[in-house]
Amino acid sequence: MAVGSSNDFDLVVLGAGTGGYTAAFRAAQLGLKVALVDESKIGGTCLHIGCIPTKALLESAAFVERVRHSKDFGVEVGEPTIDYKAMAARRDQVVKRMWTGLRSLVDKNKVTWIGGRGTLDGPRNVRVQMATDGDNPGGERVLQGTDVILATGSRVKSLPGLEIDGKRIVTSDDVLRMDVLPKDVIVVGAGAVGVEFASMYHDLGVKVTLLEYLPSLVPLEDREVGQALERSFTRRGISVMTNARFDPKAVKVTKDGVRMTVGPEGKDASEISAEMLLVATGRAPNVEKVGLESTKAELDRGFVKVDLRTMRTREPHLYAVGDVVGGLMLAHTAGHEGLLAAHVIAGDKDVHPMDYVAQPRATYCRPEIASVGLTEEQCKERGIAYKVGKVPFQAIAKAIIGGEYEGFAKVIGSTETDDLLGVHVIGPHATDLIAEASLASFLDATPWEIGATTHPHPTLAEIVGEAAMNVDKRSINF
């Protein structure tokens, strides 16, 4: 095939996940001529094998749990029947619908879509091995851009010596392709992915054992939140072990499942078994075979090193966003990084540097968890004097009405400046409620200002206002 060449793009974006397509769309809106390159469908991990399909399944699982408690609302329906194949079909329909809408935005924003495997060929060129499906004849094309954004995302990773087979020992990628449930499962890793799948499986009637190497579940969250989640999971019947120790190389695969010996640190271990072992131990950046060696870009602990004021690498015209740069490795954070890079490339002088502390975090287990800002532990580590307002959902009428009232909201303020330092919520619709706190953080609001804002009654949002008022011990309803 002949090698084609195009040198008329202001920006070439390599990778069409949330960070990549957000950057491409915004750059086009700012008047740049943009090419978006990916060998797969637009949407990346989040849309196809991450956030969206997972949350679709969690929604089904939460609905099952709500039906189980229908009698509490005066509605008799009996024990629900789980049709996981239908849930999986709905999961796939949700993904398809979102992908169809996203695909239409490529044309709406006048972005040039180029399907194929792209690699950097120097800091300003992207060499694309074109896809051969449909009307595309394949071959190779070289895209020359004034600027390039690398947004190649990440992939699931395992533990050294633990071999993923996709059947007995699986990752979240494998689970999101399945349409059958195991009768029991061991989940290794209690970060966001691990606790979400543990929660979902339990609500669908699967026996769950959750193992976490560190002392607390969701170890990146406020410790009190992790402790509350562990109590909730244990009450529900999930077997939880923190400080869990086992030899990955000693995990045995049998015809019926897996067996492993595990125990809390410093205590006797025992053998456990299950039909499936789900490995949820984090993600690795896709920095291999993307052509970084043809540039001056540097890696830091495996991630692409960038200037957080601009998302620019060491190369003046090469930027990077999303999971390849580390940070929080969240889809909405990748999108924000993409916006920042697009505005810098377009010449906007009024941009704010990336601040990962100010980025909201959301975990969709039951109960949900969401937060923004510093944890109590981080305040202590940094020597920041702080004060705390905390209110349980049991004090909120809408939570009682809805029948879901475990958990709390915690607001952390500075004792010296009264600035807002952090907000942490565990409970119903926490991931929706955190948006107010995120806006407050962005606008440098104080807890007093959050509390002084009228929150409609009865709503779940009242808990954020009540917790903010309680920073100065002035909560009205608690």
Tokens of 16: 């069409």
What's the pLDDT score for residue 5? 44
Question: In the chain, what are the domains?
Answer: 3-49+90-154+284-356 (3.50.50.60), 169-281 (3.50.50.60), 367-470 (3.30.390.30)
Tell me which residues of the chain have a pLDDT lower than 50.
1-6
DSSP string, 296-337: ---EETTEEP-BTTTTB-SSTTEEE-GGGG-TT--HHHHHHH
What's the pLDDT score for residue 359? 97
What's the pLDDT score for residue 180? 97
Strands (DSSP E) contained in 65-164 are 112-120, 125-130, 140-150, 154-156
Give the tens place of pLDDT for each residue, 298-357: 999 999 999 999 999 999 999 999 999 999 999 999 999 999 999 999 999 999 999 999
At 10, which helix (H) or strand (E)? Answer: strand 3-14
Kind of pairing between the strands at 112-120 and 34-38: parallel
CA distance 222 to 249: 32
Tokens of 427: 């409970």
Q: Which of 416, 433, 415 shows the shortest CA–CA distance to 424?
A: 433
ω into 458 cis (within 30 of 0)? yes
What's the pLDDT score for residue 265? 87
Give the tens place of pLDDT for each residue, 73-84: 999 998 999 999
In 10 A of CB 267, how many CB atoms? 9
Side-chain-side CA neighbours of 66 within 13 Å: the count stands at 12
What's the pLDDT score for residue 136? 64
CA distance 14 to 50: 19
What's the pLDDT score for residue 267? 87
Element counts in the chain: helices (H) and strands (E): 13, 24
Residues 6+ apart with CB under 8 A from 149: 11, 12, 13, 14, 15, 20, 23, 24, 311, 318, 319, 320, 321, 338, 341, 342, 345
DSSP string, 136-158: ----EEEEEEEEEEE---EEE--
What's the pLDDT score for residue 7? 56
What's the N-to-C CA distance of the chain in angstroms? 72
Active site residues: 457
CA distance 293 to 318: 13
